[in-house]
A and B are shown apart, each in its own frame.
Chain A
Amino acid sequence: MTKQMFRSFASALAVGASLFATQALAKSDITIAMQLEPPHLDPTSAAAQAIDSVVYTNIFEGLTRFMGDGSVVPGLAESWEISEDGTVYTFKLHDGVTFHDGTTMDAEDVKFSLDRATAEDSANAQKALFAGIESVEVMGPLTVKVTLSAPNGNFLFNLAWGDAVIVAPESIENIKTNPVGTGAFTFGEWVQGDSITLNRNPDYWGEQPALETATFKFISDPTAAFAAMMAEDVDVFDNFPAPENLPQFEADPRFQVLVGSTEGETILSTNNKQPPFDDIRVRQAVAHAIDRQAIIDGAMFGYGTPIGTHFAPHNPAYVDLTGKSAYDPKKAAQLLADAGYEKGLETTLHLPPPSYARRGGEIVAAQLAEVGIQAEIINVEWAQWLESVFKGKDFGLTIVSHTEPMDIGIYARPDYYFQYDSVDFQTLMNTLNETTDPDERKKLLGEAQRLISNDYVNGYLFQLAKLGVARAGVQGLWKNAPTAAIDLTEISWSE
């Protein structure tokens, strides 16, 4: 081997090595784990959060969208005009937007999507979002006029939900298994029980994302979640199911931990129609029997913020009402005695699988037992919970986190599973919906929070924290969860 040859060989090696190095640095694929697998992929016909986690802003987009900080910004609508009286919204759509199947996204698709959501037989899980829509008119290929029956200060916020994304009539039939949207990622493959893969959409109308492919992996078992993260089989865990393991990730330089807020009000839901909980004194007794900090420390290892009403503490309109239901077992026992339950009472406590419910429930049951309420713990799977508690309303108490953003409106629905029926509250919600002035809205929201807190509708426990765990090099993850979403468009790997 001549010197010359050796040199070129060596430089070829060096080039090869540096090529390899740049490839390693510019990683463009990511594996994101989440706990639950979506039942299908149509966000407009189911409440399952897992659907939105996969498809929201990635596959499907709406006229407006949420950002990671909770703000609402234009999505497919470039701009809009609101009429003087607040009832007519005229949206101007982005030009040149196509669906993944090549068809153009235009005003007709918007009308189709909104009409579908408001239709009599609509399967939309959040029909209330669209309730005020009177008509949708196509004014031009890129102009849509939406007329509301009354002004709705929340309308643009409502349109940002995953339930309000724009779908196309051409591809609606197979949306559940082959979702076709306008987003920066196209649907790739779904291995049932394991993962869903999305690929970059080269024809995306907006800015190209850094990632080329993203795989969503479903890992429901907390132990398996820990193992998968530690072995670096997954790069991100959207919301890590075992808070007790976070200190280990924090201490490990390979990982970063992102503790943020969610819209999940974790509550001890109470069947307001079932004796003895139809008596406000009993509900108040339950509220005073609960030591929130013990639940947060014991079940969530300190992650979570105490709440005294059904409202997210990071929202500017939040009112701290935890004092109304401060931990006071003596008062609780007294209230029970006043209500005629000196000898205590028996009830059931249905607990769905997440650890906030299972562990929180054990603590709640022990605390209730202290004041004489014997709550029999019944552990249920989600399907069973939906069937017997949510639909069947056959329960005394249950623990669940209500993760929809700004969902205090559920208290205005007397047939909702906890069956709170208050004319005052329903009137208040109607007034709120017709109010657009921000200060006035804030005041009304405060009143609404006080009203349900004064009526001790449910036991208010804590705001669920979002516990994200990721490899150290991952950037652009949402720290908070203003809505269920894993926005891939901002995610990249650092050098």
Chain B
Amino acid sequence: MSRNLILGAALSSLVVLAALVSFVWTPYDYAALNIPDKLQPPNAQHWFGTDHFGRDMFSMIMVGARTSIAVALVAVGIGMALGVPLGLAAAARKGSWLDEVIMRGNDLVFAFPSLVIAILITAVFGAGAINAIIAIGIFNIPVFARITRGAALSLWEREFILAARVSGKGAARISAEHILPNVANLLIVQGTIQFSLGILAEAGLSYVGLGAQPPTPSWGRMLADAQTMVSFAPHLALIPGLAIIVTVLGLNLLGDGLRDWLDPRIRVARA
């Protein structure tokens, strides 16, 4: 296993662990205001300090991880659940009108600047975590559709698929039983990358006030709230900023590492 993979997995699992632990335990109630204790720098009682309402930043970061992961996970889930079948169908019917419709539709979605459209969607249908998930999810569909189609197309030329066709299996069954397992590696790697992009997108939407609404903590909104106070309470911006960096870096390293690790050619070379 490569260093990237280990470091990426360590950072990512740290964040996931923080999110999971926050369900059962946080040092303080993340929503409890304690105004007399506001704007404390990191110290023994409050490891990450307190924010402008005296809330414990460590607890907020933990619960914020939950928000980020939930939004990104569901968004990637939407992208995979819709994008992968579309990609498989397009590959199975290569060159047909179905292929054209699916792929041109994907091009259409791809052509829009994703964050701008996400802002539009949340502005029209109301700000909130659910709409943010949908907005980010929609833009994950073409990513997965394309990657699936591309990989599936080359598989369709292979002998074992030919064998399956000769034995009388239909296109849908071949896609599910033979194509999908062989593109799964790619999808996992891409999923990790999309997951980190989803976290960034959620932070971006929350930063402009369109993500999860208060009192649900969100790293992006913590950054936005910190803006006017950076000059005298830098930890307010540094800590959520670092949380985003650690998560995105971890996921990218993990994605890179997984690709190397799962790639059969490299695996063969290693063996």
Interface residues of A (CB under 8 A from B): 222-223, 226, 242, 244-245, 247-248, 294, 297-298, 359, 361-363, 365-367, 369, 376-379
Contacts and interface: CB of A to CB of B under 8 A. Distances in A.
Contact of B35 (A297, A361, A369, A376): A297
Nearest to B209: A379
B38 interface: yes
Contacts of B33: 294, 298, 362-363, 366-367
B53 A298 contact: yes
Contacts of A294: 33, 35
A474 B36 CA distance: 35
Contacts of A247: 232
B13 interface: no
A298 B52 contact: yes
B213 to A, nearest CB: 5
Contacts of A378: 126, 213
Nearest to B224: A223
Interface residues of B, number: 20
B229 A377 contact: no
Contact of A379 (B32, B213, B227): B213
Interface in B216-268: 227-229, 231-232
A365 B53 CA distance: 13
B215 interface: yes
Main DSSP-derived SS at the A contact region: helix
B228 A242 contact: yes
B214 interface: yes
Contact of B228 (A245, A365, A369, A377): A245
Contacts of B126: 378
Given A294-B35, A379-B127, A362 B228 contact: no
Contact of B227 (A222, A363, A365): A222
12 contacts: A244-B228, A245-B228, A247-B232, A298-B33, A359-B52, A362-B215, A363-B53, A365-B214, A376-B213, A378-B126, A379-B209, A379-B213
A409 to B, nearest CB: 34
Interface in B28-60: 31-33, 35-36, 38, 52-54
B38 A248 contact: no
A367 B35 CA distance: 12
Contacts of B35: 294, 297-298, 363
A223 B213 contact: no
Contact of B52 (A244, A248, A361): A244
B38, B209, B214 pick with most chain A CB within 10 angstroms? B214
Given A222-B228, A366-B31, A298 B214 contact: no
A239 to B, nearest CB: 15
Contacts of A367: 33
Lowest 8 A-B CB distances belong to which pairs? A242-B228, A298-B35, A223-B227, A222-B228, A294-B35, A366-B33, A297-B35, A362-B214
Contacts of A363: 33, 35, 53
A245 B229 CA distance: 7
B231 A362 contact: no
A223 B228 contact: yes
B228 A226 contact: yes
Contacts, number: 55
A363 B33 CA distance: 7
Given A245-B231, A298-B35, 20 more contacts: A222-B227, A226-B228, A244-B52, A294-B33, A294-B35, A298-B33, A298-B38, A298-B54, A359-B53, A362-B33, A362-B215, A363-B33, A363-B35, A365-B214, A366-B33, A366-B53, A369-B31, A377-B215, A379-B209, A379-B213
Given A222-B228, A294-B33, A365 B52 contact: no
Contacts of A377: 213-215
Contacts of B38: 297-298
A244 B209 CA distance: 20
A366 B228 contact: no
A306 to B, nearest CB: 14
Nearest to A243: B228
A424 B94 CA distance: 78
Contacts of A226: 228, 231
Interface string B181-212: 00000000000000000000000000001000
A69 to B, nearest CB: 31
A244 B227 CA distance: 11
A361 B31 CA distance: 13
A35 B228 CA distance: 15
A468 to B, nearest CB: 17
Interface in B48-79: 52-54
A247 B36 CA distance: 17
B106 to A, nearest CB: 33
Nearest to B227: A223
A376 B52 CA distance: 21
B44 to A, nearest CB: 24
A14 to B, nearest CB: 42
Contacts of B228: 222-223, 226, 242, 244-245
Nearest to A381: B123
Contact of B53 (A242, A248, A362, A379): A362
Interface in B1-51: 31-33, 35-36, 38
Given A298-B33, A363-B33, A244 B229 contact: yes
B213, B228, B231 pick with most chain A CB within 10 angstroms? B228
Contacts of A359: 52-53
A359 B226 CA distance: 12
A367 B215 CA distance: 12
A242 B38 CA distance: 16
A377 B218 CA distance: 15
Interface string B104-145: 000000000000000000000011000000000000000000
Contacts of A222: 227-228
Contacts of A248: 231-232
A242, A294, A363, A369 pick with most chain B CB within 10 angstroms? A294
A287 B55 CA distance: 23
B206 to A, nearest CB: 11
A377 B215 CA distance: 8
B186 to A, nearest CB: 40
Contacts of B213: 376-379
A381 to B, nearest CB: 9
Contact of A366 (B32, B127, B209): B32
